[in-house]
Amino acid sequence: MKVDLLIKEAMVYNSYFKQFTKGNAAVKDGKFFYIGIKGSETFEAEEIIDANGMYLVPGLIDIHLHIESTMVTPATFSYGLLKNGVTTIVPEPHEMANVFGIAGVKEMIKASKNYPLDMFYAIPSSVPATSMETTGGAIEIEDIEELLQTEDIKCLGEIMNYYDVISKPGGKTNQILAYITKNYPELIIEGHVPKLLDLELQMLAFAGVTSDHTHQTVEGMKERIAIGMFLEIQEKSMTNEVMNYLLEHQVDEHFCFVTDDVMADSLQNRGHLNVLLKKAIAMGMPPEKAIYACTYTPAARMRMYDRGAIAPGKLADFLLVSELNSFHIQKVYKKGKKVYDEAISYVQEASSRQFPDYFYESVSMGKLEEADFHVNLPQQDGNVICRTMNVKNGSTFTEEKHDELLVEAGKLQWETSAYGLLATFERYGKNGNSARGLIGGDILKKGAVATTYSHDNHNLLVLGQNKEDMVIAANAVIQQQGGICCVLDGEILANVPLPVGGILSEEPLAIISKQVEHLTATLHTLGYEHYNAIMSLSTLSLPVSPALKITDHGLIDVNKGKVVSLVVE
């Protein structure tokens, strides 16, 4: 009996029993043909692998992530994932959609083809995330319809504006949900429902949202599972309490692990979904259960029934793992073909101009001046009570606090206060909006940083302790058509150019990861005390992440879903 590949003497993972069994596996036409004890006496194979007792594991599957969070192109992302055992992903390109609309989605999908890694896309459902920000593009119902008709789509991406679902029955988000549930009732709808419980949570479920990937608590998980929501557990949710609950209760079918956002240096130096798998094992989860949550349940959630298990007819996406607890990956195969071998040195070649020319010309604004960082108030002199945004290490949520600041000659004296200035500028050439706020807590204590990598609108965001450094950082980013730049005492200390839409680099992963690593170290040197300083910085403009954020429309009270003034009335 002729087959393409025979793997002998392996410990084969069986997803249906969640256990390993010693045996052989035959592959034919890119799929598993046979798993059992029969070997060379039965099969004539073009290639034979002696696994010598290594573990044969299905390729890992990540169903909730954003390639743009790594600041790389799909080609570079694919290169980074395969060596970490990830063979299938479901990315949602809502960052690129916020910059370019449906064209951003289509170009990301186009750029994802012809690579060994399978990239099936989610349609961004919340572009812009709210009506309280200016973006370069938008995704409307007609765009969703076009993408469903023309592309290989797995789901409707995360419904981010949960406040509108609850409070605005006729709003855009509810219109999209109503359209999908009526016309595409079988389409999976992903959710973003942080902290919601009871009635508000069930209102989201009633509208069609059937998953949540945000920061979990045991109370929240129990309520979500009880109403049929699927849990997508990212690393920040892997607390002892959460992991113990997953271990002690029969909920294996109701969760999987996802990465959501991974920085380039973390992808290069730590890994990807395999990092969460190893962490789960280290926290006491049996390897068989951790593997299940990285293969079988994500495949089932996205109805990808052709993968996620080692069984006849399933795609031959698999890993050979030498040691289970450390999950040491030696080889990776995609559809029966080897795509990674740790014994072979792989070097990613540089590439450029993978997108249309106008993708490299997305920052449409002139240079800024020191006056742009003045905070002008009607009151000429005296003290005012101001809202401040407080950042705390460990979370991308912020806290609103109030404090008294001095006003002189109609200008808020923020530079002599305990706070930094956070300013944002609309950068698409649409309206010239700008806004300013005060920020404190675990943020930088000196210098300045500017970025066009600012979720989800990706306008120019500038944070600093003095106007001079803020001007230099901002203008460096404007001049290079996007990126992240740190300045101290007039000197640029770190700079990451992101010329594709102001959010992506076309450098190889080894180079962009070093740039991001240096940037992170610089932010820490400037006093930014956060486990993920870049993510913390970039989400200060995310108006669906509690509690006080900023967009070009002004300060946003996320929980109330409205713009609020800097000065407390």
pLDDT value, residue 180:
98
CA distance 550 to 553: 8
* pLDDT at position 161 over 90: no
CA distance 439 to 421: 6
pLDDT value, residue 350:
79
Residues, the chain, total?
Answer: 569
pLDDT digits (tens, 9 = 90+) for 66-116: 999 999 999 999 999 999 999 999 999 999 999 999 999 999 999 999 899
- Name which of 333, 306, 307 is nearest 319 in CA terms: 333
- The β-bridge partners of 555 are 550, 564
pLDDT digits (tens, 9 = 90+) for 222-249: 999 999 999 999 999 999 999 999 999 9
Share of the chain above pLDDT 90, in %: 95
CA distance 310 to 318: 8
* pLDDT at position 352 over 90: no
Number of other CB atoms surrounding residue 348 within 10 Å? 15
SS3 for 426? coil
Question: Cα-atom radius of gyration of the chain, to the nearest Å?
Answer: 25
**266: phi then psi, degrees, rounded to nearest 5:** -70, -40
pLDDT value, residue 544:
87
Q: CA-CA-CA-CA torsion for 172, 176, 181, 182, nearest 10 degrees?
A: 90
Q: Mind listing the domains of the chain with CATH numbers?
A: 58-303 (3.20.20.140), 358-365+376-564 (no CATH)
* pLDDT at position 569 over 90: no
SS3 for 196? coil
In contact, 214 and 252? CB cutoff 8 Å:
no
pLDDT digits (tens, 9 = 90+) for 363-380: 999 999 999 999 999 999
Listing from the earlier edge strand, what are the strands of the sheet with 483-488?
411-412, 398-408, 382-391, 434-441, 420-425, 460-464, 448-451, 483-488, 491-497
Residue range 153-158: mean pLDDT, rounded? 97
- Name which of 450, 156, 461, 197 is nearest 302 in CA terms: 156
Residue that has been written with the tokens 């790594």 in this structure: 70
Quick one: three-class SS letters along 129-183? CCCCCCCCCCCCHHHHHHHHHHCCEEEEEEECCHHHHHHCCCCHHHHHHHHHHHH
pLDDT band at 349 (very low <50, low <70, confident <90, very high): confident
CA distance 292 to 14: 9
For the record, the structure tokens of 467 come out as 């106007």
pLDDT value, residue 230:
98
Share of the chain above pLDDT 70, in %: 100
User: 315, exposed or middle or buried, with CB in 10 Å at 0-12, 13-18, 19+?
Assistant: buried
CA distance 483 to 514: 15
- CA dist 317 → 115, 154, 262, 338 (Å): 14, 19, 23, 9
In contact, 25 and 48? CB cutoff 8 Å:
no
pLDDT digits (tens, 9 = 90+) for 406-430: 999 999 999 999 999 999 999 999 9
- CA dist 189 → 64, 106, 135, 214, 223 (Å): 12, 20, 23, 15, 18
pLDDT value, residue 272:
98
Q: What is the Cβ-side half-sphere exposure of residue 185, based on CA atoms within 13 angstroms?
A: 2
pLDDT digits (tens, 9 = 90+) for 480-512: 999 999 999 999 999 999 999 999 999 999 999
In contact, 555 and 437? CB cutoff 8 Å:
yes
pLDDT digits (tens, 9 = 90+) for 425-455: 999 999 999 999 999 999 999 999 999 999 9
For the record, the structure tokens of 230 come out as 């699927």
State which H helix or E strand residue 540 sits in. none
SS3 for 199? helix
SS3 for 210? coil
The alpha helices in 422-555, defined as continuous H runs, are: 467-479, 509-525, 533-538
- Name which of 370, 322, 366 is nearest 85 in CA terms: 322
**90: phi then psi, degrees, rounded to nearest 5:** -125, 85
First to last CA, the chain: 81
For the record, the structure tokens of 215 come out as 């920061």
Establish whether the linkage from the previous residue to 260 is cis, with ω within 30° of 0. no
* Antiparallel, parallel or unpaired: β 483-488 and 337-341: unpaired
- Name which of 482, 247, 529 is nearest 365 in CA terms: 482
Measured on CA atoms in the order 546, 141, 137, 232, is the torsion positive or negative?
positive
For the record, the structure tokens of 118 come out as 């399978």
* pLDDT at position 139 over 90: yes
pLDDT value, residue 450:
98
pLDDT band at 189 (very low <50, low <70, confident <90, very high): very high
In contact, 232 and 213? CB cutoff 8 Å:
yes
* Antiparallel, parallel or unpaired: β 188-191 and 230-233: unpaired
- CA dist 259 → 60, 70, 109, 206, 492 (Å): 12, 11, 20, 26, 32
pLDDT value, residue 373:
98
For the record, the structure tokens of 356 come out as 């249309």
